[in-house]
Structure 1
């Protein structure tokens, strides 16, 4: 899914290795890896997958915050993801905090804590005064991003469990044209800032659109290793109605392509680093240029995806459904990923999320 204007301004490991050959010919690999290597790449699950949901509490969901937090809690999901815009937090200048905007994050943090939800906050959008030219442009001076992430981590120390550095950086200028080489300085700055403000917080790399192992390999080559505690991807499907177990073929937008990402991580010494899905889901759009699935199928795919990842991808520890509530301000494809309709009524997928959480507790 391409990066959205939402910052407050408004099948096996072997198949995966072969797929990785096709996109990263510069790296020479043994086409028949030893069983021990394949076992390392697969890993062992230490605990059940943890699920979360995305709520746009900083902008379009603000007036429904309490209701949506209740729905998140009642689904049995232990995590909540929100995104915030640096460009709105400091819209008037360096160090000049917009109190109205910060108060929304305060309320989100307090509301999540009151309901026993752990919080992941994604921070992106460079202010114009810091050289931002679009809502997703990276800061020309990463030290400014380091400063603001340190401020946020200090303010919410012990209250925000995880911070995500940007959103879909591979989509800046169009997916997958964003430069990993340009993103890494921001990732490094964000990591330094967060760890200075709250050493115990988890730093998550900006989730990329799809499972693009080549992009991740370039990110590592640019110096990303050591600057994230979890690597994030957004394993959406293409076409949009493809089931969770659709074969990887040459597509990066396939959940089954995930082992190629894991291969790159192991190759780069990060076998102990987990993968987080900071977004995943299926749209119920029945019009537009990217129609999805009907509502019962959305629910079925949610359950199937959770079971598939729990079984086949033990290195994935967290997965956040995108989103809690439908939108009405973008394309049909983008608008209808919700577990709830715009009016708050439930889709079958909301109940499926509760069932998935209950199933995971038994694993």
Structure 2
């Protein structure tokens, strides 16, 4: 179920008093973090708002419509996959360099445009050593599975070095 439909249903069912912050996932698919849901909705190949990091803004509008402007959004999972192998995910994969750049730009976008209503933003994942290329999360991770020495992807370094 698309996130916006779920959130509308939650409000319709009277869920507003039962949470302090709205948790959302914000994968960017292959779109840069600045690309608006309006743009992806107009794209004849995509025709959807949810295929962009900024679909979070749609959730925010629903919160405001329902009197929850004072509550923050927590982005529980955000990222871009680098999976060029598995057909289920490869259609929206980016390069490791793009992943690094997009993650940094996503944090910058949020800082510049979503204050004060954005709270926690969590990039996914630090790889578990048992993950392999068969696992979806392997490709979103900012590290590669390794033990005992870390194997850091460009996204790890970019996030570590970005201005905070």
TM range (shorter): 0.7 to 0.9
- Find the aligned partners of 1:322 and 1:242 in 2 and give their Cα distance: 17
Kindly indicate whether residue 11 of structure 2 is the aligned counterpart of residue 220 of structure 1: yes
Instruction: Give the SS at the match of 1:349.
Output: helix
Q: Distance between the aligned counterparts of 1:247 and 1:268, measured in 2?
A: 22
TM-score norm. by structure 2 comes to: 0.81
Query: What does 1:280-295 align with in structure 2 at a 5 Å threshold?
Result: 280-289=78-87, 290-291=89-90, 292-295=93-96
Is 1:271 matched up with 2:84? no
Which residue number corresponds to residue 247 of structure 1? 36
Contact 2:133 2:139 in 1 (8 A): no
Q: Distance in 1 between matches of 2:133 and 2:158?
A: 26
CA shift, 1:236, in A, is: 1.1
Q: 2:132 aligns with which of 328, 345, 361?
A: 328
Aligned residues: 146
1:316, distance to aligned residue in structure 2 (A): 1.0
**Alpha carbons 2:82, 2:140 under 8 Å: kept:** yes
2: distance between equivalents of 1:263 and 1:294?
32
Give the TM-score of the pair, scaled to structure 1. 0.38
Q: How does 1:158-307 map to 2 (within 5 A)?
A: 176=1, 212-237=3-28, 240-248=29-37, 249=41, 250-289=48-87, 290-291=89-90, 292-307=93-108
Unaligned runs of 5+ in 2: 42-47
Q: 1:352 matched to which residue of 2?
A: 158
> Which residue in 2 is equivalent to 1:197?
none
CA–CA distance in structure 1, aligned partners of residues 73 and 151 of structure 2: 32
**Runs (5+) with no aligned partner, structure 1:** 1-175, 177-209
Check conservation: 2:125, 2:137, Cα contact below 8 A: no
Q: Quick check: 290-299 or 272-281, which moved more? A: 290-299
Q: Is the 8 A contact 2:138 2:144 kept in 1?
A: no
The whole-number CA distance in structure 1 between the counterparts of 2:17 and 2:161 is 36
Q: Helix, strand or coil: the match of 1:257? A: helix
C-alpha RMSD of the superposition: 1.8
